[in-house]
Amino acid sequence: MKIIFATGNKGKLREAAEILGEGFELVTPAMMGITEDIPETGDTLQENSIQKADYLFERLGCDCFADDTGLEVDALGGAPGVHSARYATDGHDFAANMDKLLAELEKVGAMTLEQRTARFRSVITLIWKGEKHFFEGSFEGYIAFEKAGCGGFGYDPVFIPERSQLSEAGMDTVCPEGCTVAECPDDLKNAVSHRGKALRAMAAWLAENK
């Protein structure tokens, strides 16, 4: 199935292609000649996810989906949340975002792992035959004390998965205790992540309804 994925984020595109597998051919806005940044000015993940999908549907008029993801850190009242991409700067500077996050957690005195609980949350908006459908996923964990690993993208070098999700997926031996997502193989993240859950829910819906 050929479908447009409203993203400019190469890490997301790679993960989505791996998660959805060979049955899907993902087309990006750039491949369709849309090279400007798609606006995301909403106050919630769902609003942004709708905004990105609508933007493409209005221009191309075909089935598409968008993913908006945020990292919610409990000790910071849910920040960076919907502002995850531009937490430290106006651009998508992953290293600066992580440095700011680590500094903010130090400022509030969150110096044990138990005080550093966090989760990624993804909201997918699928526009299918002109109708909107929503799929969500979350991934529980902790913010590490320093960056480690070079896999994944974004905040992965500071995100340590919570263990029970790994054991449920039979993945606990693949990720040694205390390792960040960026230190683990991609298939571990895809099996248990926010995006993995949301995209598999979308694929299951499409299998039933297309």
Give contact residues for ligand ITT (rule: CB under 6 A): 7-9, 12, 40, 52, 67-69, 84-85, 92, 120, 152-156, 193, 195
Query: What distance in Å separates the CA atoms of residue 55 and residue 66, rounded to the nearest whole number?
Result: 10
Do the beta carbons of residue 158 and residue 73 sit within 8 Å? no
- How many Cβ atoms are within 10 Å of 150's Cβ, its own excluded? 10
Cβ density class 70-92: b for 16+ within 10 Å, e for less:
bbbbebbeebbbbebbebbeeee
Q: Minimum CB separation from ligand ITT for residue 106, in Å? A: 20
Q: Minimum CB separation from ligand ITT for residue 152, in Å? A: 6
Which residues are catalytic, by number?
68
Q: Would you call 148 helix, strand, or coil by DSSP?
A: coil
Nearer to ligand ITT, 49 or 206 (CB): 49
| Sign of the four-CA dihedral 111, 112, 114, 118 | positive
Nearer to ligand ITT, 7 or 165 (CB): 7
Q: Minimum CB separation from ligand ITT for residue 46, in Å? A: 12
Which residue number has the CB closest to ligand ITT? 154
Nearer to ligand ITT, 69 or 125 (CB): 69
